[in-house]
Structure 1
């Protein structure tokens, strides 16, 4: 079996590649530099360049490429890059798939629970409509729309709407761990905004499940079944590192001053997301509770 992976150098892509290779799967990584072996192929999504031969005969493509969303302040240039990297990359890949006589029958395309906007304390699953705001309307909606030609051509397309991935190797958790280990962790804003999380092991397991299950298509929420509020997350992380947390929350205006526009959509609002499709498909999560997930990844 051969699976094509984009974004393979990122936190999620590298974990997935390791797991697939451990399963005995041949993985071909699409890279934006000179290939360094038979398991790599060059592509340049900004210029629409891709080698169709690399895709021919593969069983599936897992498309995870895209510029980081929360690692920089949102200037106009950064926001354009966030959108462009996702839309152009998906378009380049889908266009190439459409020109193949024997292309991969399955495409798993990265997405995000930012699709739902701020849901407050309302639970949402894959049937919910898109929300408002930059992430929902300008990033995720057009990003997902680029997969439509593949679906119309008969490719099974699953949209991996990923939540907050917990890993000690990178991502948001790795950035805030030093703060919590100093006993300086605190709720953010009201603390009532929901954070829909998933452990890195469960994220990889969910993707493997979707790859193997031909009945799963369309949006799939990659989150654990039990989302928590930011205040609950703060308390659990403090307990996991055996340190107290601050009694007072970090005010929203300070977060906006420090993080800019990203604070409003990426920190102070949240989504209470349920992985309905995975649960209905019988997927078994390794970590359903936040405490056990944190213990596993820290």
Structure 2
């Protein structure tokens, strides 16, 4: 295996990352660049170099890789933003294929390698569980509901599992709402609060499973370096909250009032089927991450939001 790279007089393990210019991927590059020589698969290599720096290697197509066994690790985070546009039939297809195609290709490359990578970490999301009300769910205790988000994630995970070959550890990360001061869902949420118009969505009872970006990156690092890690992991903080509690905590963190409420019918009118994702939820617990010895830096929503805003 040629998983080591002679880099400026020293040696680094090689890592392949898809989705490297996204919220999680770009932070991961910052954290891992001193340990790994990172290759980023991206639609725009020039953008990747501007955003991530010139000590990475950017490629536009996985076919540019002759042997994926040259990499010690592969992390797959690529996918069209699920909340970027209304869920038309075309947009649903785009959301699905942006995840499924790259995952299928990576799994095929790993299976074909004579000496495959040591670890393959592939993204998923807590949408796998569907609407769960206030029922607490874990990786092993859950009954998913049959809806778009579940079908999307179930196939995404199934494709990743086809890479299993007895040599490569495969980890699947079911990620919650990632909180960061540098983009992502939170930066879209805070706009009405800046004008004193913040408040819960619908009745506010739907559960939100979230994770601070530092813990998200830490969890990926933990899976990457811990040889005992394999299978599904919920990448969520251990204290999920209702949308009401989340919005109250956000208002307090920003020093803003909390009295507005966005009616469910307004969301349905504005967002169509996508509103279902905002008006329902899951209380997802990171049972396997904690059993694997991972400790959260931000287990409580109050501290996480204070760090972000």
**Are 1:130 and 2:144 an aligned pair?**
yes
Taking the aligned partners of 1:51 and 1:206, their CA distance within structure 2 comes to 29
Taking the aligned partners of 2:143 and 2:64, their CA distance within structure 1 comes to 36
Residue matched to 2:74: 61
* 1:145-224 equivalences in 2 (<5 Å): 145-224=158-237
Give the 3-state SS of the residue equivalent to 2:105 in structure 1.
helix
Residue matched to 1:280: 291
Residues 118, 269 of structure 1: 8 Å contact kept:
yes
Residues 55, 104 of structure 1: 8 Å contact kept:
yes
Taking the aligned partners of 2:183 and 2:228, their CA distance within structure 1 comes to 32
Residue matched to 1:99: 112
Taking the aligned partners of 1:174 and 1:59, their CA distance within structure 2 comes to 34
Residues 133, 281 of structure 2: 8 Å contact kept:
yes
TM-score normalised by length of structure 1: 0.93
Residues 107, 160 of structure 2: 8 Å contact kept:
yes
Taking the aligned partners of 1:153 and 1:280, their CA distance within structure 2 comes to 23
For the aligned residue pairs, the C-alpha RMSD in angstroms reads 1.6
Residues 111, 165 of structure 2: 8 Å contact kept:
no
Give the 3-state SS of the residue equivalent to 1:114 in structure 2.
helix
Residue matched to 2:3: none
Taking the aligned partners of 1:237 and 1:221, their CA distance within structure 2 comes to 23
Taking the aligned partners of 2:255 and 2:214, their CA distance within structure 1 comes to 23
**Are 1:42 and 2:59 an aligned pair?**
yes
* 1:206-245 equivalences in 2 (<5 Å): 206-245=219-258
Taking the aligned partners of 2:248 and 2:72, their CA distance within structure 1 comes to 43
Residues 3, 28 of structure 1: 8 Å contact kept:
yes
Residue matched to 2:91: 78
Residue matched to 2:32: 20
Residue matched to 2:301: 290
Residue matched to 2:128: 115
Give the 3-state SS of the residue equivalent to 2:237 in structure 1.
coil
Taking the aligned partners of 1:293 and 1:84, their CA distance within structure 2 comes to 33
**Structure 1 residues not aligned, in runs of 5+:** none
**Are 1:267 and 2:278 an aligned pair?**
yes
Q: CA deviation at 1:38?
A: 7.6
Residue matched to 2:262: 250
Residues 50, 93 of structure 1: 8 Å contact kept:
no
Residues 31, 40 of structure 1: 8 Å contact kept:
no
Residues 41, 54 of structure 1: 8 Å contact kept:
no
Residues 130, 141 of structure 1: 8 Å contact kept:
no
Residues 107, 158 of structure 1: 8 Å contact kept:
yes
**Structure 2 residues not aligned, in runs of 5+:** 1-12
Give the 3-state SS of the residue equivalent to 1:17 in structure 2.
helix
